[in-house]
Structure formats: structure tokens, C-alpha cells
Structure 1
Amino acid sequence: MQSITGSGLPNSHQALLKNQHLLSGRLALLGVASAQLLPELALGGLAMSEQAGVFRAIEHHEGWQACFGYDDTTLAANSYDSVVVFLPKARAELEMRLALARSLAVENARLILVGEKKEGIAGAIKQLKAVAPQAYKVDSARHCQVWCADAFESAHGFRIQDWLGWGRIECSGVSIDVAGLPGIFSQDGLDNGTQMLLETLAEEPVRADRLLDFACGAGVIGAWIRVHQHAQEAPISSVDGVDVQSQAVICARETYRRNNVAGTIFASDGLAVIDGVWPGIVTNPPFHTGVKTDTSMTEQFLRDVRKHLQPGGELRLVANSFLPYQALIKRHIGRVERLREDGRFTVYRAFRGQ
């Protein structure tokens, strides 16, 4: 086995490798962040990731059953002797991940929880001990803690529907129901950027019979467009959506179903595996930068979007105002204007040239 010190794996994956002597029998990994972990492990088994790109990378590793998120039909109940739970970023999600772990475990299985200190592993132990009071710490390594629970009590019947919740948002006189899962869709309501985008769509709709919502999240934009069009007695558009995260895809499909929206929700890391061209694309893309602004992600996104936008088609996009979008949109898409700005967010409208 190659050295784990310089492997480039996430710290939590390195910590598991250091302690893989704890693993035995049939193995399930929940929350894999890098497929490069798999060939380093002596055992094969099930590897679940919520990130579409990681999931597709796992599919290429022999000896492993790749699963995409919590509703994958290949998740085999009560089948695994060792279940590893990587700490999710959203603490609210850990309870759901532990419930899935219990449903996958055989009786008297071993549960292992691994997480970084900066991600809150210390605070997560209370959640772990609520389902496994016998859990104990076995190691501190790679800025992580590794916890183990022997004779872990299994459970039956994990259903993602049991974890779904519903919120209601309103914008420009139109209300929709929005599905939520732990870590997906803020119950505090509509974020300011999306609200500004929707307000411009109410005032100046994108004239297209087919739309794509990039980074669709819980399906807010597509559902709102459909309900707004119905309220205005306007022609109804189908709105497809794409997102990288399993929970977002699940929520978007549920939101569409509840609000009677026509459209397909795709799982993809960006637009890498998406085919098709649309006459209109709308998006609140998830770009977050630190002190140093890096435009490379923006440029790649706009190059990819251009390939999927019909000549003459419209891109409607909201972004933080400090990001240098306008010149980049003009370079990659075509003529661009600012429809709305408030100092914090800006909504751009651009039309693809020939």
C-alpha cells in the first residue's frame, strides 16, 4: 500500500486508512469524498457518495458497489458487517446518515465514525452515542477523531421520504411548496440572490418553451416559474434542472411533483455529463470565493453553459456583485446587461451570439 501521508486524500479518509485493521467482513462506506480511497483498502464493498462526480468515479473501481445518495436502489438492507460513516458537513445530516448505517448493518455489526475536528466531530459524538451508547474513541489522527461502536444495533426500513420536510416560499405574489432534507434548503426562507432573480423573471420573463436551471438545489426556481406562468395565464415552459448533490436532486424532484412542474432533474458535477441544448438557462450558481478572487471557475462554467445554450438563447444569472461576471459573460456568451443590482447581488441577462 502506498504511503497515506502524501496521498492527497481528505484527512478523514487518511485517518480511516490508518485504522483499517478495524474493518472486517462486508464493508459499507457512507459519505465517500474521494474515490481514490477505494484501492487503498484491503476490503471491497459498498461505497456511497452524495456527490455526482465522486459517484461516477467510484463506478470505475472493481470490487465496489457504487451508490448515489440515500435513495439508491442498490442499498442492501442489513447486509454489512462493518459500516463506516464519514462526518457530513451539515450536522443535521448526521442523524440521517446514522439511520442509514443502522439499516445497512447486520446484527452486531461494527460502526466507525470518522470526522475532522474543524468539521465538528467533537460535537457529533453526542449524536453518535444516542444510537450507540457503547461507542469509544480509538484514535486521533490527521486532525480527525475515529470512533468505534461494537455490536452496533441494526434497524430496518430506512426510507428517505421519512426525512423529507416542506417549507413554503413567496415571491412577487406567487407561493410554492419546497421540499427539504437535512442540509438542503434553508427553512429561513428564500435567499436574497434567488429572490432578486425571481423578481426579474416576474418583470421580464425568459421567453422560451424549455429552460434549464443550473445548480437547481431544491427546485425553487423551476417550480416558481411554473406556478408564476400559470398565475399569469402565460405559456407554460418545461424547466429541467441539474445539481451535483443527491439530496438536492431528491428534493427538486419532490418539489416539482408537488407543484406540478414539467421537467427532468439531472445529477451531474457541473454540466460534464449533460446532453442537450436549451433556448433559456437560469441560474444562481454556487460560487464562493475567499479574499482572493479566482475567475477560473467562472470562466469554465460560462464555457460549459455556452455549449448548452442555443444561438440567440438567453442566460439569466444572479451572482455576488463583487465577482467580475459582466466582462466574462460578454466574452463567452454575448451581449450582456444588468437587470437589477443592490450592491450585494447583480442579475445579468445575456444572449448567446452565433
Structure 2
Amino acid sequence: MSVLPNSHEALLKNHEHLRGRLAVLGPVDISLVPILAQSGLVLTEHFGLWQQLNTIDGWTAVFGYDDAALAPAGADTVVVFLPKARAELALRLELARWLAAKDARLILVGEKKEGISGAVKQLKTVAPQAVKIDSARHCQVWQAANLEPSEAFDVRQWLEWHLVESAGIHFEVAGLPGIFSAGELDAGTTRLLDSLSEFPLKAGPVLDFACGAGVIGTWLQLCQRKQGQPETPVDGVDVQSQAVICARSTYRRANVSGVITASDGLDRVQGKYAAVVSNPPFHTGIRTDTSMTEQFLKQVAEHLEPGGELRLVANSFLPYQELIRRHVGPVKAITADKRFTVWSACRR
């Protein structure tokens, strides 16, 4: 049996506090779930984890904060695991209140290094009666009895909009708590857009891998619109629920087109493209983790037309050049400095 994360072990140590119908928000190891109870509701914002959770008998797995399976007042105990992004905790707590039945209890679990001490201040804004019931495995476990339910929950009410600009193209981008680079245009994407302005892609369908809030796909189509060219839809794919919600919202507001798909990697992507663009993530929490991008590079050629281009921006210290050459084709650095390199490769 695999070793569970500290926060999961801390919850199991306090299993006696889990009563009645159970909802669990944000576990990172699926092996915890069947140990907790024979049935319940479990939420994740990671599509790959959601696929795994769907295999557990008796449990309803929901993907993100807009899943149709979410329903109010159905849980007697709601467990909230501390998310990586502190802003997302407020979102989870509000959802927890909406899921909670009358007189339900809420349990918040998190590691000290993740900031559980500061998170308790947020907890007490919605549940001032919360008390610490345990400190174990470098974690704290807090409980709030008789949680006051929320009458409504709609994740789209949490959308925030910010204006971005690149190469004379202006548009608004949607943001939600927990999404990468919410509220700003990150430096890597800026560098990639600069390269697309200076060295345009050839005509044809485009896929944006790890599309985030839909910035690249929106910019490409608005650039074509500004230049009086036919607009080519840009499809997008991302593993995170908030990213999918935001990308679709950004596309709608900008009146651009493309299919935004939730997928862990390229498994749910159909068809071939003249170009695939990406500013892929390389962190899991605070740890450098290039495994998702490495898997993407092994598969991306299958989704490129012959002679199709991969355009990817990455931190310059990441060892992608040889992987791109091996799995896609001849590769060159279009632009590079100490921070970022924009790679271009054509499928053999």
C-alpha cells in the first residue's frame, strides 16, 4: 500500500469525526477515499485524478466547481483539504457551506508548510466556532460544528476579469482562484506571443496545450481579425477545471472560437493541427516537475500535420531541446535569454 500524504494520514487519525453523508474536497491521493467511507462525494480540479476517482464504487466523483453532480445541502460532514493557492481556499469554503446540510460539520486539514496556520484565519471568517482538534504529522486538523449553510453557489460569480495587451492586441481574460497567473500576463506567455507576432504560424488549425485562461488562442484570432485575415479557430486543452472554465469564458467575451477540452495530456484530443503552441507548466506545488511536458512532447507529433510546427516557450534551464528533436523533429531557438527560450520544431 502506498504511503499517504501527511494531510491524508492526519485525517484518518481523526476518522471518528467523520459522520453521516461525506463530501471530500481536494484530496491528492485516491487511495484515501475508499478508506474513509463506502460512499460519498469527492471533488478534484485535476482531470486525470477525476478519471481515477470515477473508478471507486459508491463514490460520486466531481470535476471542479461547476460539475452538474454538485448539489446543495447533501453532506453531514465536509472535509476541505488546503489547496496550494490560498485564494482558492475561500472558494472551497464557500462550496463547502453550500454542500452542507443543516447542522453539518466542516473539517479543514493542511500541512504547516502549506500555511495551515494562516488558513485558519480564513476558516474563522465563515466558521468562527472552529476549533483545532489535532496536530499530527506536521499538520493541523480543525473542525467547525453546526456550519452555517450557504443558500447559493455559482463559480462564475467568482470570475474576475483583467485587461491584457501584446503587440497592440487588447482583450479581457477571465480568472478564478487557483488558476496560473491570475490577474496578469505572465512573462513566459508574453515571450511566446512576441515570437508569434514576429514569426507568425503558417495558416491552418491550431491547438494550445496547457491553455490556461485561453490567452494564446484569443490573441491569435484577434491578431488575424485585426489584420483582416480569415480567423482560424484555436482549440485548447488543460488538465485543470478552473482553466477550462476561464478559457471558455475568455473565448466567449472576445467572440473567438475553438473547442476547449479537459484532458490529462493529449489523450482526449482528436485530429491533427498545422501548429501546436504551448507554455507548459513545470511545477507540482513548489517542486520542479517536467513529467507532464515530457509526456506531451512524446505524443505531440501524432497531432501535428506533416511539416506542422510545435512552438513552445519554457524556462531556459529546462532540458527540452533534445526531447523536442527526438520526438518531433529539427528544432531551433527562435528567441532566448537567461530566463526563457522559445523553441520551434517542425514535424518530420
- For residues 24 and 181 of structure 1, do their structure 2 counterparts lie closer, same or farther at Cα, with a shift above 3 Å needed? same
Amino acid at match of 1:202: S
Instruction: Name 2:138's counterpart in structure 1.
Output: 143
Amino acid at match of 2:68: T
The normalised TM-score by structure 2 is 0.95
Residue segments in structure 1 that go unaligned for 5+ positions in a row: 1-5
- Tell me how far 1:111 sits from its aligned partner: 0.6
Amino acid at match of 1:316: R
Q: Which runs of 4+ in 1 moved over 4 A?
A: 292-298
Instruction: Name 2:337's counterpart in structure 1.
Output: 342
Instruction: Name 2:244's counterpart in structure 1.
Output: 249
Aligned partner (choices 16, 25, 32) of residue 11 of structure 2: 16
Aligned partner (choices 221, 238, 249) of residue 226 of structure 1: 221
Instruction: Name 2:28's counterpart in structure 1.
Output: 33
Identity of aligned residues (%): 61
CA separation in 2, counterparts of 1:203 and 1:265? 26
- For residues 299 and 164 of structure 1, do their structure 2 counterparts lie closer, same or farther at Cα, with a shift above 3 Å needed? closer
Aligned partner (choices 325, 336, 340) of residue 320 of structure 2: 325
RMSD: 2.0
SS of 2:133's partner is strand
Residue segments in structure 2 that go unaligned for 5+ positions in a row: none
- For residues 313 and 161 of structure 1, do their structure 2 counterparts lie closer, same or farther at Cα, with a shift above 3 Å needed? same
Aligned partner (choices 47, 50, 62) of residue 42 of structure 2: 47
SS of 2:275's partner is strand
Instruction: Name 1:172's counterpart in structure 2.
Output: 167
- Tell me how far 1:276 sits from its aligned partner: 2.5
CA separation in 2, counterparts of 1:299 and 1:70? 29
The normalised TM-score by structure 1 is 0.94
CA separation in 1, counterparts of 2:167 and 2:37? 56
The number of residues matched between the two structures is 348
CA separation in 1, counterparts of 2:236 and 2:305? 17
CA separation in 1, counterparts of 2:284 and 2:142? 33
**Alpha carbons 1:139, 1:145 under 8 Å: kept:** yes
CA separation in 2, counterparts of 1:182 and 1:176? 20
| Residues 141-187 of structure 1, C-alpha deviations (whole Å, 9 max, x = no match) | 12111100111111111011110000011000101110001122535
- Tell me how far 1:326 sits from its aligned partner: 2.1
1:148-297 equivalences under 5 Å are 148-186=143-181, 189-288=184-283
CA separation in 2, counterparts of 1:64 and 1:251? 27
Amino acid at match of 2:222: V
- For residues 120 and 318 of structure 1, do their structure 2 counterparts lie closer, same or farther at Cα, with a shift above 3 Å needed? same
- Tell me how far 1:33 sits from its aligned partner: 1.4
